């Protein structure tokens, strides 16, 4: 079975500083990995994904993520945080060889707080 762990419930960072939101995964084969962001009382917005290729993936709003197969991690990063980045961030994994159709397995989420 596939699983995702987001070890930090909340990450606090000052505006202008770099941010990292951590994610580790477990899947039987090569994973497909995704990051989504959720603003209060809203749905999920897609940020970026890793399917294959370059381990550093660039996404929306200046976010990027680094796939590390040996550490089974897919941490989300941004060089300079904005107050408007404050939101709930979810990491998700899909097993491309699984039998559960289009299923994404999500982590529990990490709340990012960026302070001015």
Partner 1 sequence: DAGVTQSPTHLIKTRGQHVTLRCSPISGHKSVSWYQQVLGQGPQFIFQYYEKEERGRGNFPDRFSARQFPNYSSELNVNALLLGDSALYLCASSLVGSSGNTIYFGEGSWLTVV
Is 71 buried (19+), middle (13-18) or exposed (0-12) by CB count in 10 A?
exposed
Asked whether 83 and 116 are in contact (CB, 8 A), the reply is: yes
- CA dist 43 and 47 (Å) reads 13
Q: How far is the CB of 116 from partner 1 (least distance, A)?
A: 26
Residue 77 binds partner 1, judged by CB under 8 A: no
Residue 53 binds partner 1, judged by CB under 8 A: no
Beta bridge partners of residue 73, listed in sequence order: 24, 68
Q: How far is the CB of 49 from partner 1 (least distance, A)?
A: 6
Report DSSP state, residue 100.
Answer: S
Q: How far is the CB of 34 from partner 1 (least distance, A)?
A: 8
Q: How far is the CB of 58 from partner 1 (least distance, A)?
A: 14
Residue 51 binds partner 1, judged by CB under 8 A: yes
Residue 16 binds partner 1, judged by CB under 8 A: no
Residue 29 binds partner 1, judged by CB under 8 A: no
Q: Which is nearer to partner 1, 8 or 15 (CB)?
A: 8
Nearest alpha-carbon partner for 60 in 40, 32, 31, 89: 89
Using CB under 8 A, pick the residue from 40, 54, 70, 101 that binds partner 1: 101
């Amino acid at each position: 079975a596939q699983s995702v762990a987001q070890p930090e419930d909340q990450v606090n960072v000052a505006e202008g500083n770099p941010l990292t939101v951590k994610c580790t995964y477990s899947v039987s084969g090569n994973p497909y990995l995704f990051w989504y962001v959720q603003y209060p009382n809203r749905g999920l917005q897609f940020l970026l994904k890793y399917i294959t290729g370059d381990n550093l993936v660039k996404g929306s709003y200046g976010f990027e993520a680094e796939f590390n197969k040996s550490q089974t991690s897919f941490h989300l990063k941004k060089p300079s945080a904005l107050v408007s980045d404050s939101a709930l961030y979810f990491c998700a994994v899909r097993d491309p060889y699984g039998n559960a159709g289009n299923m994404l397995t999500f982590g529990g989420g990490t709340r990012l707080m960026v302070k001015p």
